[in-house]
Structures are given as structure tokens and as C-alpha cells.
Chains A and B, each alone.
Chain A
Amino acid sequence: MPHGYCYLWNPALVWLHVISDALITLAYYCIPLALIYLIKKRHDLPFNWIFGMFGLFILGCGTTHLMEIWTVWHASYVTSGIVKALTAGVSIATAIALIPLVPKAIALPSPEQLHAINRELRTQIVERERMEQQLRETLRAREKTLTELDDRKCTIEELELARAALTESRGRLDAIIHSAMDAILTMDEDQRIVLFNAAAEKMFRCAAMDAIGGSIERFIPKRFHAAHAWHVRKFAETGVTNRIMGPRQALWAVRADGEEFQIEASISQTQATGRKLFTVILRDVSEQARVHLRNLRLAAIVDSSDDAILSKDLAGTITSWNRGAEQLFGYSEAEVVGKNVRLLVPEQRQAEEARLLEEIAEGRHVTRHETTRRCKDGREVHVSLSLSPVSNEGGKVIGAASIAHDTTARKRTEEQLAAKADELLRSQHELSAQQRMLQSVLDSMTEGLVATDSEGRFLIWNRAATNIVGMGAANVPPAGWSKHYGVFMEDTVTPLPDELNPSVRALRGESGAAVMFLRNAELEHGAWIEVSASPLRDKDGKLCGGVTAFRDITRRLLDERKIRELNEELEDRVVERTAQLEAANKELEAFTYSVSHDLRAPLRHIAGFSGILLEEFADKMDKEARRYLQRIQDGTHHMGALVDDLLKLAQVGRRELKLQPTHLDLMVKDVIRELEPDIEARLVEWKLGELPQVEGDAGLLKQVFENLLSNALKYTRPRSRAIIEIGQTFVDGQLTIFVRDNGVGFSMKYADRLFGVFQRLHRQEDFEGTGVGLATVQRIVQKHGGRIWAEAELDKGATFYLTLRMAGNGRQAAGAGAAS
């Protein structure tokens, strides 16, 4: 009978049970599904088999409820009973299994407890976080775990493990920190030290006790404080956790005792409970810096060496190559490193190289081994090799350092020297021949010549020396020379002191000359000698002796004395004569002055009174008397002209030249203009050529041209057409001025009388004149250092030539003029 009967088939009651049981079944079936899912997903859950049992238990319960529904309509109570029995079994098993688990479950901490532990751990972790990089990895793993714990996603077991790991790492960390070689310091945000390890104590020479709580700044040199503060602030802002501080070896720290030293440092930062902490790991690199510097220097030396420096291993493979090697052998570093050194060894020397390597392998040094090497261009160079074995730390020879010095030039010099030695030998023969010749020269000299070594021992003493001194070379030291040879000062009685003797001074390195007097047993009357001496020096300039030359000047002195006496006499005579001349000059001056003033007066009177007679008393005289009076007038007139001309001549002699550049062409034009009134009605053609600028006294030169041109005018008077030419020409390469006319000329027979005083070549009634003009002209030209002469032909005209000194810049102009 179905169970429905129990419910009286009351539909409401039936459905109440059916629906309830269905819902329970559904729920009971869902729970194990959820549990299975959980177990699948969380293998790490502790005690997970109990979850399985739970699942079975609930599944069973669910099935019993399902059976309840079935039995409403079907009376299969046996099946239902079996299901219930199974469920009961599972339930009991689960209960039995659960009982021992309870105390275990009780032992697990509560979530609150876990939270507290968390906090504590985190503090510890934060501290650990300031450790070195490798440790930080561990820390980071823990931190992750903690984060998971925070999220309540971890299991109790895992937390346990984490704690154990943390404890372990903390211990390890402490040990690392304190045994670390590097100094480790941790600072808080205010730069106060919170951790200071043993290495730091050692490095800064400061106990951790003293350091902790104080500012880090005490370990930073003052000058870097500001920079440090700025860097720290900057670093904190970046949020970067780890960084190397500053460029390599650029940081300085200061020890507690004030010593500064170079460090390398890295810094990291961590955030813990809202606070920033900075951990710095420091390494003292002072020594390192020193070593580095030394290496740099060594490298520089190697690099700058002119010698080739290379290293090779025992197989001969080149491992390094300096610039000197590059220069010597022509290979660049890239070309040869890794290649065998045999590359550089000429064929015939390959065996030798092998031997050298053997030597090295045995740890021996090779020094100054002269050999040859082949360069890149095939050229062989002479080198001096020095090889040193290079050993590894274990003392085993692993290669060689080789220094090659180029000796090509030296070799060449040696060869040249050898050649020279040959030559020297040859020339030595010639020298001995020359020496013989020298000896004969020395012997034939009239001058005495002696030479000594630095001690004053005579090396040369020629024949003339013996003749002059009266004796030969004696083995007497320099200090004894004066006495031995009888050397006296110019007073002939005072022995010549050594410091005045050129021969002795020469041995002190001084050159000198002197006149001295010799008198000794062989020279009774004594002799005057003129001595000059110079030190002798070897090729290094070292004093090695002296050479003295001297000659007998006794005769010359006597002659000179005579000449001096004669000269004095002559001078007296000159003074006397000069005085006489001066007196004569004065007389002449007085004479010319009186001619000028006094001689003209009576002349003027004769002319004056005869003139009055002629003018005012003419009517009281007969014709004859008047003619005589006229003669008197003409005579006085001529005499007046004579006196004037003579005065001019005298003035030329007395006058001092006022030299100045003078344009002759302008001057001649002036003179011609002044002569124009004399031309009157005559036909005169002036041919004026180019004339130079000369250096002269303008006033006197003008007289020259006045005379020459008025003469030309005068002596062309008979010509219907007078042609007077003035110009310049070259005579014997010298610029010469000429005045040419087509007048009556003169016979060259009388040319020598032309310039004499009162000399006239024409009769007074034909051509008036005093005969003084040309004499004056000659005086003036001569006074200017010039020359005057004339060429003429009777009835054909005359040409007067004169030379004058050209003015500085006039020479060229004149030359150009003459050339054109």
C-alpha cells in the first residue's frame, strides 16, 4: 500500500509532502555539488576529505527524501528502507570522522588573531625590506603572501609556513647585514639613522650606538650637504625603489674622525606604515680608485711609449698592441691581435723566435736582444727586444710582455761611424804630412808663436820665438815666465805682473794683447814686443791650453816715435801757417772792403767832377778839351766796372756756400728776362732745353748764368740772327749743362787763357769787358765741386760746359729728361 493512503489521498496533504520532499531533495542534492566544486577548486584546503564525507551524507539524506515522494504512490518500502540505511551509514561515518577533527579545528587561530599577527609581521618585514637585492626577492614573496592574508584568501597552514620562512629569513638577514662587507645604513624620512651595521661601524670608525638616532649628515662632507638633501628629496619623489647613487667613484663620505674617502653607494626606499625608509649600501672605493688611477697611468705610459709594447701568450698569439707597435710595425691593433707574432718575424729568424718563447716559458727574462723584425710594408727594422714573462695568479707563466725598441737609426749611425773610422785612419796619414808642413810654416814665420797645454808646458815654440826672445822653450811654470825671460812693463824696469801678461791670462781663459819689454842675458839691449794671446779650448769648450803670437816692434816703435816727432813739428807748422793764412785772409778782407769803399770814392770824384765840367762848363771848352774829358769819363766808367767785377770775384772766395736745391730752368728764364733790355732791336733766338735741379748756392749760380748768357749775347752781336742754346747733355756719363752760341767764337789755341783774370781774347773796342767775368764763373763752379770748360771755333761760335752736383731727387728727373 502506497504511503498516500497514510495521507488519505488527501490531495492537499499529499502535495504538501511531495513538494516539501522535492524541495529538500533538490537542496540536499545541491549542497554536495557545491562541496565537490569547492574541493576541486581548493586543493589546499585542510581536511578536505571531510568535505567529501559531508557531501555523501547530504546526498544520502536527499535520496531518502526522494524516496518519500516515490513511496506516496508506490509502496516500494524495501527500496526506501535500503536508501535510509545507506544514508544512516554515511552519516555515522561522517560523525565518527568529525569527532577527532574538532580539537584541531579549535586550535586554528581566529581571524582577529590572524590580523594581529599580520601587523606584527608587517613591521618586521618592513625592517627586512631594507636589505640587499637578493634578500629583497624573498621579502617580496612574503609580502605577497601577507597581502593575500590581508585579503583573507589564505589558509592557516600557509600563514604558518610564511611565518617560519620569515623568521628564518630575518635571522639570515641579520647575519648578512652584520657580516656584510659593505656598510649598510638605514635612515628614516628625517635622515636619522635607524640601522648601522658592523661594516658601517668599521668604515665610519663610529659605533652603531653613537650613529643610530643621529643624522646621516655627519658622514657626508659639509660641501655635499645641500646636494645630498636635494638628491634625497628628489629620490623620494620618484618612487623608484632602488638606484645607484651618483656616477662611479664620484661620491665622498667622511669618517667620524674627519677623514674623507671615496665611496660607491646604492640607495633603496621602502614605505612602511606611512613612513619612508631609505637604505644605503656603501663601499669604500678609495683603494679601488687608487688602483684604477694607477692602471690608467700605466695604460697611458704604454700607450704613449715610442717603443712597441705588445703581449703574447706562450703560443705566440698577440694579445695586446700599443700605439708604438702600430707606428713601428705598421699594423693596427685590430689587424694583429689574435694573430701569431711570427707575422713580424723574418723567415730566417723564426727559429730564434721559438727559442725566445721557450726562454719565456721557463720564466726567464730576455733583455736587449738585438734582432730584426718585419713590418707590414715588408721593410725590415732593427730592434732591441726586451721580453718579460707574464704569470697568472697561480704563478704559472702564461705569456710574455715584449718591448721592441727601434734601433734602425742607431745601426745606421754605427755603420757610418765605422766608415768614418776608416776615413780617419786614412786622413791621419795626411795629417802627419800636414803636421810636417805646419812645422815648416811655423819655422818660417817672422812672428813668434808658442803654444802651451793647460799647465803651461810648451807644445810649440817656433824658430822666430827663439830669435825674438833670445832663448828657447824652458820648463818653467807660467808664474816663473816673467823672471825667466825678463819680461818688463812699458817703463822697461817693472817686471810684468802675471795678470797683465796675455800668455798667462790665456791659461785662465782670457784673450788679450799687450806691448811689453824684454830684457834678459841674451837680449842685452832689450826688445819691444807686441803680444797677443788666446786660450785654447777642446771641442767641448774646455780650456786645454793657450797660444801666444808676438813680434818684435822695437824698430817700429822707433819709427813711430820719429813719425810722432815729425808730426808734432808738422802740426806746429800747420798751426803757424793757418794763423798766417788767417791773417792773410783778414788782410784780404780788409783790402777788398777798402777797394769797395775807398777805391771807388776817388773814382767817383773824378767821374763826378769831370761830369760837372762836361755838363756845366762845356761851352767854355774847345772840342779837344771836351773829347779828353769824355775819355776821362769812359776811363772811370771802365775802372768802376773793373772794381765791381774784382769785388765779385773776391766775394766768391770769401762767401760761404748756402746750398739748396735750385731749379736751373727757372733761374735761366729769370736771367734771360733780365737781359731782355740789352737785346734792344736784335734778333735773338733762345733755345731753352730741359735743365736739372741742382744742389747749389742760388745767388752764385745766378752770377754764372748771368755771365755766360750775357757773354753769349755780347759775342753774337755781329750775327743778324743770334742763336743761344741752353740745355743738358751727358759727357763721360756725367750730366752736363751747356750754353752754346753762334757768335764769333775763339781759337782753341787760347782756350787755357779763357778763365784767367784780366785775360781777354777780344779787343776792348770790339767787345767791351773787364776780363774778370769768366774767372768769377770758374771760381763759382769750382767752389760747387764742378768743372767748366769751353769748346769753340773762330767765327763759328762757342759752347761752355759745366757740371754741377744734382739735387737729391733731381738726378732722376734730369736723367729722364736727357734720355727723352
Chain B
Amino acid sequence: MNATQSAFDILLVDDNPADTDLTSEVLSRHGCRGEIHTVRDGVEALAFLRGQGKYAGGPAPQLVLLDLNMPRKDGRAVLAEVKSDPALRKIPVIVFTTSQSPRDITRSYELGANCYINKPGTLPEFVAAVTEFGNFWFRRAYLPHCNHEPL
């Protein structure tokens, strides 16, 4: 049996389209068979997670990749809301940001981020980082609402 990951839904929350495009590309090349959804700010992210407005009836993601600095509602606020909402708390949130500020890192963990990944500046490093967390989260870790084990 080959290593496969069941299909599931991933939400990318990032206002930078170049980053989300690259992320999607790398993830789908590295064993992520999920559908990758993209939203551009925190307000949309919460609407997507709660299936509100134009996202009514849409899928509930099993994993969220969250940038911190975004228009309208930033990543910190989204994180705080997700982790204080009993219905959403279980969804792993990966903070994926260019910020290396110790304050951001600590604050994110305090708010309940599942991990904190630095978004590297160079392309090879970026690809490597995405590949690594893809390896871990999609091939090793068990995610909630996912009935099928990795491998």
C-alpha cells in the first residue's frame, strides 16, 4: 500500500495571492489530496469556517493555514475567535507568517495556535517549509473529522 492521504478540505487565509498560489501548488505536489480553499482576510475566513453568507452549505475545513497580518480582521483576531468557539476549537490552525516577532509567536501559542511556521523569504526555503509541514500534517498527523488515518 502506498502512502495516501484521504481527501479533505484545507483553508488558506492569506491576503497575498502569490503566497497562497505557491502554497497550494507545493501542498498538492506533496501528498495533499485535499481541496485547498483560499480567502483573503479574517472576516471571510470566519464566514467560511462557520458556513455563513456565500459559504453557506460549504465544506468545513480540517486544517487552517493562517497569516497574521491581513486587512479587515487580522490573523490574531481570527485565531482568538476560532479557539474560543467550541464548534471550531478542534480544527488545527497553523500560523504561517513572515513575522518572527517573539510577541507574535508567544501570543499565537497563548491563543491556541497548533503550530507556528515562519514563512521564508526565498523560494527554495518557502517550498521546503511548505513541504515539511505538508509531510507532517498530511502524512503523519491525525486530523479531526477525518476518518482515515494517514498511511
Say if the two chains contact directly (CB < 8 Å). yes
A674 to B1, CA, bound (A): 11
A678 to B2, CA, bound (A): 7
List 15 A–B pairs whose Cβ atoms lie within 8 Å, in order of A's numbering.
A670-B7, A673-B7, A673-B33, A674-B4, A674-B6, A674-B7, A674-B33, A677-B2, A677-B3, A677-B4, A678-B1, A678-B2, A699-B147, A702-B147, A703-B147
Shortest C-beta distance, B97 to chain A (Å), equals 31
Chain B positions near chain A (C-beta within 8 angstroms): 1-4, 6-7, 33, 147
The residues of A that contact B2 with a CB separation of less than 8 Å are 677-678
The residues of B that contact A673 with a CB separation of less than 8 Å are 7, 33
A674 to B3, CA, bound (A): 10
A699 to B62, CA, bound (A): 14
A152 to B6, CA, bound (A): 145
A126 to B147, CA, bound (A): 128
A653 to B137, CA, bound (A): 29
Q: Which of A671-685 contact B (CB under 8 A)?
A: 673-674, 677-678
The residues of B that contact A703 with a CB separation of less than 8 Å are 147
A703 to B6, CA, bound (A): 11
The residues of B that contact A674 with a CB separation of less than 8 Å are 4, 6-7, 33
A678 to B6, CA, bound (A): 14
A670 to B4, CA, bound (A): 12
A670 to B146, CA, bound (A): 14
Shortest C-beta distance, B80 to chain A (Å), equals 29
Residue of B nearest to A669 (CB): B7
Sample of 11 further A-B pairs with CB below 8 A, known A674-B33, A702-B147: A670-B7, A673-B7, A673-B33, A674-B4, A674-B6, A674-B7, A677-B3, A677-B4, A678-B1, A678-B2, A703-B147
Interface residue SS majority, chain A: helix
Shortest C-beta distance, B35 to chain A (Å), equals 10
The residues of A that contact B6 with a CB separation of less than 8 Å are 674
A699 to B2, CA, bound (A): 21
The residues of B that contact A702 with a CB separation of less than 8 Å are 147
Q: Which of A652-697 contact B (CB under 8 A)?
A: 670, 673-674, 677-678
A662 to B2, CA, bound (A): 27
A699 to B3, CA, bound (A): 20
The residues of B that contact A678 with a CB separation of less than 8 Å are 1-2
Residue of B nearest to A703 (CB): B147
Residue of B nearest to A697 (CB): B147
Shortest C-beta distance, A502 to chain B (Å), equals 61
Shortest C-beta distance, A363 to chain B (Å), equals 99
The residues of B that contact A677 with a CB separation of less than 8 Å are 2-4
List the 7 closest A-B pairs by CB distance, nearest first. Answer: A677-B2, A699-B147, A670-B7, A674-B4, A677-B4, A678-B2, A674-B6
A673 to B31, CA, bound (A): 12
Residue of B nearest to A678 (CB): B2
Residues 703-738 of chain A: 1 if any B CB is under 8 Å from the residue's CB, otherwise 0?
A: 100000000000000000000000000000000000
Residue of A nearest to B145 (CB): A699
Shortest C-beta distance, A660 to chain B (Å), equals 11
A670 to B1, CA, bound (A): 17
A699 to B147, CA, bound (A): 7
Residues 22-33 of chain A: 1 if any B CB is under 8 Å from the residue's CB, otherwise 0?
A: 000000000000
Residue of A nearest to B6 (CB): A674
A678 to B4, CA, bound (A): 9
The residues of A that contact B4 with a CB separation of less than 8 Å are 674, 677
Shortest C-beta distance, A757 to chain B (Å), equals 21
The residues of A that contact B7 with a CB separation of less than 8 Å are 670, 673-674
Shortest C-beta distance, B133 to chain A (Å), equals 21
Shortest C-beta distance, B110 to chain A (Å), equals 32
A722 to B2, CA, bound (A): 20
The residues of A that contact B1 with a CB separation of less than 8 Å are 678
Residue of A nearest to B35 (CB): A670
Shortest C-beta distance, B74 to chain A (Å), equals 34
The residues of A that contact B3 with a CB separation of less than 8 Å are 677
Shortest C-beta distance, B105 to chain A (Å), equals 34
The residues of A that contact B147 with a CB separation of less than 8 Å are 699, 702-703
Shortest C-beta distance, A672 to chain B (Å), equals 11
Shortest C-beta distance, A665 to chain B (Å), equals 14
Shortest C-beta distance, A39 to chain B (Å), equals 132
Shortest C-beta distance, B147 to chain A (Å), equals 4
A677 to B3, CA, bound (A): 8
Shortest C-beta distance, B27 to chain A (Å), equals 15
Residue of A nearest to B1 (CB): A678
Shortest C-beta distance, B11 to chain A (Å), equals 18
A678 to B1, CA, bound (A): 7
A703 to B149, CA, bound (A): 12
Shortest C-beta distance, A611 to chain B (Å), equals 16
A702 to B6, CA, bound (A): 11
Residue of B nearest to A698 (CB): B147
A677 to B151, CA, bound (A): 12
Shortest C-beta distance, B129 to chain A (Å), equals 25
Residue of A nearest to B7 (CB): A670
Q: Which of B3, B7, B33 has the most CB of A within 10 A?
A: B7
Residue of A nearest to B149 (CB): A644
Residue of A nearest to B8 (CB): A670
Residue of B nearest to A699 (CB): B147
A58 to B29, CA, bound (A): 171
Shortest C-beta distance, B92 to chain A (Å), equals 19
Residue of B nearest to A648 (CB): B147
Residues 463-485 of chain A: 1 if any B CB is under 8 Å from the residue's CB, otherwise 0?
A: 00000000000000000000000
A179 to B102, CA, bound (A): 132
Residues 199-222 of chain A: 1 if any B CB is under 8 Å from the residue's CB, otherwise 0?
A: 000000000000000000000000
Residue of B nearest to A644 (CB): B149
Residue of B nearest to A675 (CB): B4
The residues of A that contact B33 with a CB separation of less than 8 Å are 673-674
Shortest C-beta distance, B68 to chain A (Å), equals 33
A673 to B6, CA, bound (A): 9
Shortest C-beta distance, B142 to chain A (Å), equals 13
A438 to B97, CA, bound (A): 98
Q: Which of B4, B33, B147 has the most CB of A within 10 A?
A: B147
Shortest C-beta distance, B44 to chain A (Å), equals 24
Shortest C-beta distance, B148 to chain A (Å), equals 8
The residues of B that contact A699 with a CB separation of less than 8 Å are 147
A258 to B119, CA, bound (A): 112
A114 to B90, CA, bound (A): 139
A699 to B6, CA, bound (A): 11
A703 to B3, CA, bound (A): 17
A146 to B75, CA, bound (A): 126
Shortest C-beta distance, B57 to chain A (Å), equals 11
